[in-house]
Structure 1
Amino acid sequence: MITLDLPDIDTTARIAGRLAPLLRRGDVIALFGDLGAGKTAFARFLIQALGVEDEVPSPTFTLVQTYDVADRDFDAIWHFDLYRIDDPDDVPELGMDEAFDTGVTLIEWPERMGAALPEDRLSIHLSLVEDRRRMTLSGGPSWTDRLRQLEEEPN
């Protein structure tokens, strides 16, 4: 587990930039945190760090946005926002299985998936602590070495 302070938005962008080259086909990144904790901002920075130049809106109302990615071992990044999902049984209708198989999947409000949330994922918990944001990263087996790489680099 890694815990990082996020004193400003630039630090959040730098961490997303450091994470981007570590991503592989099939990766799932679960973004946990209260409203306003910075989940969408982090997702936006990560998508842009992967070379996406399009606008990156929050998928709160569309539930999912996909972005083509070039020069990676995956073709797309899928950005899901499950805030408006009340029943985990509704999640399969969003095409998440395809996302898990072909691309990298970012999920805001992943707790709404219930037991369908993959165990081998990168969990990022964003929180407000006193007057600054904090990020805690933990991962399943496929993330052990990559988290070590992320931890070794400075903020």
Structure 2
Amino acid sequence: MNKHQVKTETVEETTAIGQKLASLLQTGDVITLEGDLGAGKTTFTKGLAKGLGVERTVSSPTFTIIKEYEGRLPFYHIDAYRLEHSEEDIGLEEYIHGNGVTVIEWAQFIEEFLPEERINIRINYINENKRELEFTSTSGYFELVLNELLS
């Protein structure tokens, strides 16, 4: 697992990295996002959605847990925060192993459902506009994706 770090100076830069990553993703790809509240996870996700051609407004699915969007590929946005101690089966596997791109916020709460191959992204809040994005790939395929993204 290799780590790559990128610093962004503006919300637009954070969104643009998400948009560029989306252009490299394929059916079945999974991305996990970590970071404190307000770190920029939803901002990054909006960039992914834009890059996948999603036209609807993207917002955090905190209360619905899963939001589905149509674009170049189906886009599934999962917020696992409220699943920390849940035993309820809500069909996560159908999304995570489905026919689209899945992004999961607070993925540590559903570790048992996550595929081994994925991109993990930690977003660190530096100040109001600046963020540090730390990308970790878990496979050769995703390492190639990250190399293309960050070249």
Same fold (TM over 0.5): yes
Equivalent AA in structure 2 for residue 36 of structure 1: G
* More helix as a share of residues: 1
Q: CA deviation at 1:130?
A: 5.8
Q: Does structure 1 conserve the Cα–Cα contact (< 8 Å) formed by 2:92 and 2:113?
A: no
Distance in 1, Cα, partners of 2:137 & 2:55: 28
**2:135: which partner in 1?**
137
How many residues are treated as equivalent by the alignment?
A: 146
Q: CA deviation at 1:58?
A: 1.2
**1:38: which partner in 2?**
40
Match of 1:125 among 113, 122, 127: 122
Distance in 2, Cα, partners of 1:89 & 1:3: 35
Match of 2:49 among 47, 57, 72: 47
**2:64: which partner in 1?**
62
Unmatched tracts of structure 2, length 5 or more: none
**2:75: which partner in 1?**
77
Q: CA deviation at 1:106?
A: 0.5
Q: CA deviation at 1:116?
A: 2.4
RMSD: 1.6
Equivalent AA in structure 1 for residue 113 of structure 2: A
TM-score, L = length of structure 1 = 0.87
Partner secondary structure for residue 42 of structure 1: helix
Equivalent AA in structure 2 for residue 35 of structure 1: L
Distance in 1, Cα, partners of 2:10 & 2:127: 14
TM-score, L = length of structure 2 = 0.89
Q: 1:83 to 1:144 in 2, by over 3 A?
A: same
Q: CA deviation at 1:86?
A: 2.3
Q: CA deviation at 1:76?
A: 0.7
